[in-house]
């Protein structure tokens, strides 16, 4: 497998965590979002949306991190990252979707570029935009995690699931927007439990070969 990705991309990060937790080896093909390599015609031919990650499996190109992650879960059932019961799976997917559907997409590079270049917001306003949406999502997640009686050391139970892959990638990218994590003790506890594991450490942005 080969993965087109970028060290600081949250969607690449969550996919790396899943690959590592499943102990799947892959080759990294770095696409620099800083150098706008995702806008090159060569990469647009790979993904017309110009997004990383893309997973190349034999002659197939898999797009969209949720689809890639679900494909990895289905095609590599060892080291499962979803619970065995349908209700548990719905809960894990819901936690992941708070990040994947409601936090990450509105803080994406192209959104921030539009705020800066078209709406003429300054850096402080753009940072404030990101913090606002991250705080809204993290507050809801914090409440969900605090009230879930079945929760263990991780988002769901006592071993990592897909929800942890989404959450940890989002916490790491939130650092760039100076989100105050002291407001989210349950999220922080899960972060600490995850980051103690080699699979999460190896997936961390700063541990990638393309980290600037
Ligand atoms: N829904 C897509 C979103 C992918 C995505 O937003 N990737 C970002 C990096 S985290 C990207 O390539 N952004 C380029 C841009 O916004 O121009 C997925 O989950 O794969």
Does the C-beta of 81 come closer than 6 Å to ligand 1?
no
210 with 52: CB under 8 angstroms? no
Measured distance CA(164)–CA(154) in Å, rounded: 7
pLDDT grade for 210, boundaries at 50, 70 and 90: very high
Does the C-beta of 33 come closer than 6 Å to ligand 1?
yes
Which atom of ligand 1 is the closest one to the Cα of 109? 16
Does the C-beta of 10 come closer than 6 Å to ligand 1?
yes
Which atom of ligand 1 is the closest one to the Cα of 63? 20
pLDDT of residue 101: 98
pLDDT of residue 149: 79
pLDDT of residue 155: 97
Strands 54-57 and 60-63: antiparallel
**What does pLDDT average to over the chain?**
97
Q: What does the pLDDT look like over 139-181, one tens digit per residue? A: 999 999 999 877 899 999 999 999 999 999 999 999 999 999 9
pLDDT of residue 150: 79
| 212 pLDDT higher than 80 | no
Q: What does the pLDDT look like over 1-30, one tens digit per residue? A: 999 999 999 999 999 999 999 999 999 999
pLDDT of residue 197: 98
**For the chain, percent of residues with pLDDT exceeding 70:** 100
Q: What does the pLDDT look like over 32-60, one tens digit per residue? A: 999 999 999 999 999 999 999 999 999 99
Q: Which residue's CA lies nearest to atom 4 of ligand 1?
A: 51
Cβ density class 1-38: b for 16+ within 10 Å, e for less: eebbbbbbbbbbbbbbbbbbbbeeebebbbbebeeebb
Does the C-beta of 55 come closer than 6 Å to ligand 1?
no
Pocket test for ligand 1, best of 47, 51, 102 (most atoms within 8 A of CB): 51
pLDDT of residue 164: 98
Sheet bearing 27-30, strands edge to edge: 27-30, 2-5, 54-57, 60-63
pLDDT of residue 29: 98
SS3 labels along the chain: CEEEECCCCHHHHHHHHHHHHCCCCCEEEECCCCCCHHHCHHHHHHCCCCCCCEEEECCEEEECHHHHHHHHHHHCCCCCCCCCCHHHHHHHHHHHHHHHHHHHHHHCHHHHHHHHHCCCCCHHHHHHHHHHHHHHHHHHHHHHHHHCCCCCCCCCCCCCCHHHHHHHHHHHHHHHHCCCHHHCHHHHHHHHHHHCCHHHHHHCHHHCCCCC
Measured distance CA(183)–CA(185) in Å, rounded: 6
Does the C-beta of 108 come closer than 6 Å to ligand 1?
yes
| Ligand 1 centroid to residue 132 C-alpha, Å | 19
| 67 pLDDT higher than 90 | yes
């Amino acid at each position: 497998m080969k993965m087109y990705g970028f060290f600081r991309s949250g969607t690449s990060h969550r996919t790396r965590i899943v690959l590592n937790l499943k102990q799947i080896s892959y080759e990294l093909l770095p696409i620099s979002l800083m150098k706008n390599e995702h806008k090159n015609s060569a990469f647009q031919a790979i993904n017309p949306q110009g997004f990383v990650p893309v997973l190349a499996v034999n002659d197939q190109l898999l797009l969209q991190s949720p689809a890639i992650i679900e494909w990895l879960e289905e095609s590599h059932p060892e080291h499962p990252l979803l619970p065995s019961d349908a209700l548990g799976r719905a809960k894990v997917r819901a936690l992941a979707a708070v990040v994947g559907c409601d936090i990450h997409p509105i803080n994406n590079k192209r959104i921030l570029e539009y705020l800066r270049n078209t709406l003429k917001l300054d850096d402080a306003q753009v940072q404030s935009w990101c913090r606002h949406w991250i705080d809204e999502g993290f507050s809801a997640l914090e409440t969900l995690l605090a009230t879930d009686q079945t929760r263990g050391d991780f988002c769901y139970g006592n071993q990592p699931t897909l929800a942890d892959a989404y959450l940890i990638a989002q916490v790491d990218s939130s650092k760039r927007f100076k989100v105050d994590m002291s407001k989210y003790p349950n999220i922080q506890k899960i972060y600490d439990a995850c980051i103690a594991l080699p699979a999460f450490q190896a997936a961390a942005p700063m541990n990638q070969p393309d980290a600037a």
